[in-house]
Structure 1
Amino acid sequence: MSSRTLIQGYFPLLAALVATVIQWPTVAWLREATHSPLPLLAAVLVSVPYLVQLKNPWHTTRPRFVSYLALGWWIACLMFDLLLIPSELAIHAGVPATGVWTFAGAFAVATGVRSVLGRPRLRQLEVRVDGLPPALDGYRIGQISDVHCGPNISERRVSSWVARLNALELDLVTVTGDLITHGSTHVEAVARALGGLRAKDGVFACMGNHDYFTDGEHLVRELERWGLQVLRNRGVVVERDGARLYVAGVDDTWTSRHDLTRALADRPEGVPTVLLAHDPDLFPMAHARGVELTLSGHTHGGQLAIPGVRRLSLARVLTRWTAGMYRRDRSWLYVNLGAGTTGPPVRWGAPAELAVLTLRRA
């Protein structure tokens, strides 16, 4: 029996078990508080329509409302579960019960809604680059990654993220892979949306593994037709007031299309380099070749993580480079948490983001 068959056979059962464990403390408390079976009935009505259509971790139900409702409810239940014991302790310490349970319920509901509907945060950072020419001090690079345009991420939502970046009037914009979820149905849509990106020195993209879950060549043609430069194991020199910056991109690692040597072959000596590499596992190779800044995505920060502790997330299954900024000597890596989602359209502890990195002289 293949691993794919095993996943399809057992994943729905596992998902149902996890959903039951998450919901049970909250539903039991609500039944006790209301003296009614309605909380149990509501949990069944919310969960079953989603679970019966779930085939594997990457298949999500339609319409989107069904999946958003179920996943938002489960996250709210998880939050309420975690607050049950602290709430009881607060009540025993003399805090009015009505206030405690109102706060716990409101916080749980707000967390559930934000987990499935929250808009990407805008994260702004500075990167100190050795040898950066004075003309590039303050150079701003936007990054959007892991859009995953598909059943749960519409062209309209991607366009709204594009508009937020455009409003910043950036010097350069990078798109670091996984632009679709799978299949060909959203290729033209995501190309149209990302084709709206604007920057003073251009918009550059690299391919991710999901971008080959369709005809990758078709996706590249559409992106370039809408004005993006797709860097597949190659680089270009960007000039600003006589100063130069080398912008390179590597192809997908999961299908072994990447070739960092080719991507850096035309790099002028002494010119700072920005590398677009969807997979952050390429960072050690980039560091060995003296690349100053590598921009990656791929991990989504795990989508589910312990807030503020990047080591404790589902992304640790994929890589040690899970989220945020890393440094080795004079080389930097930024792992973008991504704007979209894959699999269940939910995030907790790993918020969606758009990033702006400002280059500064070291």
Structure 2
Amino acid sequence: MVRWIIFISIYFLIDIYAFQAIKTVSKSQWLHWLYFIVSIVLLGLFIYQLTGGVHGRQMTPSRMYTFGLFLTIFVPKLLVIVFMFGEDIIRFGVGLFSKFGGSDDGFYLPSRRKFISTIAIGVAAIPFASLLYGMYRGKYNYKVLKYALEFDDLPDAFDGYTITQISDVHSGSFDNKKKVAYGVDLINEQQSDVILFTGDLVNNKADEMLPWKEYFSKLTAKDGVYSVLGNHDYGDYIGWPTEVDKKNNLQKLKDIQKEMGWKLLLNEHVEITRNGDQIKLIGVENWGAGGFKKAGDLEKACAGVSKTDFKILMSHDPSHWAEKVKQDDRHFHLTLSGHTHGMQFGIEIPGWFKWSPVKYRYEHWAGIYEELGRYINVNRGFGFLGYPGRVGIWPEVTVIQLKKRVNSA
């Protein structure tokens, strides 16, 4: 109860402070009333979604859209108060100068300047419009990102071999069958040799996948479709009546993947052969740092795999690569991960600049990284969770071509 009182108090302090810009720019009473009505209604919805109905960390569509609208309204207000606070420092400084600088008027606080408030509102309009666009269009703005990676010891028969990677479908968040169908078709259009899915098929429950099962069943590749589990697939973030219900949910998710024609790798590996050569495809269960489930077992998955084999590892959380995989002397040539979503928000200028707040949590958060002669690709995700949209970090279909490095004499 105390934390809610503190939260509501801070919320209204920010609200009233940001309102000064609106009040300076416009004297319209209906606009002033609209400002506070929207703020109060949004706060009420936000509190209801967190305290009423579904409990725990389960992300339902209504909870996500409430959170998205909250961000859309609240983040611009934070930008406004930055400008207002800066102006108030100057106003207070002028007041002190008038008091101690010999002015006969004593302490004089200048009125707010309409020019500053107009700039503040204009700047705040940028994240407001971006977050709205992210919910309306950005979440299905699929992008195909292509990479070519060279290896000295790639088996000759796999020179030119192509992999399509998708990750973090989060089917419980989808709300547009036409857009999802387009995304699935886009995956198949790449005509890759194999399709690899690196975890988080659902948000919480296996049933979330049922409306989308027919679409993802259409995924096809010459060497098949393989998958691993992500942290959300285990159903850990909701309360189950019994442990048996939770166990049955996980089994149902496994069965759904089998029915779609996917091969789920549970701390195991398979061989992909071509013209007498082979590569080892290894799939581990979720292993994540910082309190996430650590069910991944490299030792079990690599039983029978030699150090000289060419290896592709599927592991949902990139922190696994950072903490366990990249320095493993078995030399995992390429690791494929997801999990971060690129936070679904950031700025990317291909080949020039890449930033998202998630970089302060994950060292490897989007795209290709190389260290110690090993590669990892962190897919930005196919779906969305939490904020029901994407801004700057778009849903991704990754295509990776394996190349045999030609050593020049």
In the alignment, is residue 280 of structure 1 matched against residue 301 of structure 2?
no
Q: Which residue of 250, 261, 266 maps to 1:227?
A: 261
Using the alignment, how far apart are the partners of 1:327 and 1:358 within structure 2?
A: 15
Q: CA deviation at 1:173?
A: 1.0
Q: How does 1:37-186 map to 2 (within 5 A)?
A: 37=32, 38-55=34-51, 58-60=58-60, 62=62, 66-77=66-77, 104=123, 107-117=126-136, 118=138, 119-150=141-172, 152-154=173-175, 156=177, 157-186=179-208
Q: 1:21 to 1:359 in 2, by over 3 A?
A: farther
Question: After alignment, is 114-123 or 345-354 more displaced?
Answer: 345-354
Gap regions ≥5 residues in structure 2: 87-114, 236-245
The alignment covers a number of residue pairs equal to: 343
Using the alignment, how far apart are the partners of 1:141 and 1:22 within structure 2?
A: 49
Deviation string 1:153-206 (CA, Å, 9 cap, x unpaired) is 247254432222112212211111111111343143354432221222211100
Q: TM-score, normalised by structure 2?
A: 0.71
Q: CA deviation at 1:313?
A: 2.5
Q: TM-score, normalised by structure 1?
A: 0.79
Q: 1:326 to 1:46 in 2, by over 3 A?
A: same
Q: CA deviation at 1:359?
A: 1.6
Q: Which residue of 305, 311, 318 maps to 1:267?
A: 305
Gap regions ≥5 residues in structure 1: 1-8, 87-95
Using the alignment, how far apart are the partners of 1:83 and 1:357 within structure 2?
A: 45
RMSD: 3.6
Amino acid at match of 1:336: N
Corresponding residue for residue 313 of structure 1 = 357
Q: CA deviation at 1:81?
A: 6.4
Corresponding residue for residue 89 of structure 1 = none
Structure with larger Rg: 2
Corresponding residue for residue 4 of structure 1 = none
Using the alignment, how far apart are the partners of 1:301 and 1:18 within structure 2?
A: 29
Using the alignment, how far apart are the partners of 1:61 and 1:14 within structure 2?
A: 27
Among all aligned residue pairs of Structure 1 and Structure 2, give the percentage whose two residues are the same amino acid: 26
In the alignment, is residue 258 of structure 1 matched against residue 296 of structure 2?
yes
> Are the equivalent residues in 2 in contact too, given 1:61–1:67 (CA < 8 A)?
no
Q: Which residue of 242, 265, 273 maps to 1:239?
A: 273
> Are the equivalent residues in 1 in contact too, given 2:311–2:332 (CA < 8 A)?
yes
> Are the equivalent residues in 2 in contact too, given 1:233–1:249 (CA < 8 A)?
yes
Match of 2:251, SS state, is helix
Match of 1:132, SS state, is coil
Q: 1:360 to 1:20 in 2, by over 3 A?
A: farther
> Are the equivalent residues in 2 in contact too, given 1:204–1:230 (CA < 8 A)?
yes
> Are the equivalent residues in 2 in contact too, given 1:58–1:342 (CA < 8 A)?
no
Q: CA deviation at 1:279?
A: 1.8
> Are the equivalent residues in 1 in contact too, given 2:286–2:295 (CA < 8 A)?
yes
Q: CA deviation at 1:322?
A: 2.9
Corresponding residue for residue 295 of structure 1 = 336
